[in-house]
Amino acid sequence: MTVSLERRNHPRIDLQGEANILLAGVVRNGTLMNLSPSGLQIECRHQLIEQLNQFKSNAGLFPDFELEFTLPSSDQSGKKIKSTCNVSYCRRQRQDSYHLGLNFVSLDERGEIEVAEYLNKLNEA
């Protein structure tokens, strides 16, 4: 019997690019690290974590926020995806570097299709 150590429902695909986070009218940037149908991981700076901390709930949860990122495409046009996300984890990597695991709270229908098609294409390769 083979036991998988993977605890995720969906495998993540490595992805590089920029993620723009809109929180309280301020846009912060992060770097995409990987993507799955249910969310993504980004690397960000301490300033974003400080801003997220200002809006934590009494229960200690980070707020939902708007996220925009671009999926690479073969024609170099890139497809912008807009979503609402929440933070599933926050891990400090270095003094000014954090990894955030983000879950999609809402992704419009076009965005869902684009993400699914992109992931399917990479899984087939």
Q: DSSP secondary structure string, 43-84?
A: EE-HHHHHHHHHT--TTSPPPPEEEEEEE--TTS--EEEEEE
Alpha-carbon span 31 to 35, nearest angstrom: 12
CB 84 within 8 A of CB 78: no
Coil vs helix vs strand at 121: helix
Q: How do the domains of the chain map onto residue ranges?
A: 13-124
Distance between the two ends of the chain, CA-based, in angstroms? 28
The tens digit of pLDDT for each residue in 82-93 reads 999 999 999 999
Structure tokens at 109: 């229908």
CATH fit for domain 13-124, picks 3.30.200.20, 2.40.10.220, 3.30.360.10, 1.10.274.100: 2.40.10.220
Can you state the percent helix, strand and coil of the chain, rounding each to 5?
A: 20, 50, 30
pLDDT in tens, 79-125: 789 999 999 999 999 888 999 999 999 998 889 999 999 888 877 76
Query: Could you give the CA distance from residue 45 to residue 72 in angstroms, rounded to a whole number?
Result: 23
pTM of the model: 0.84
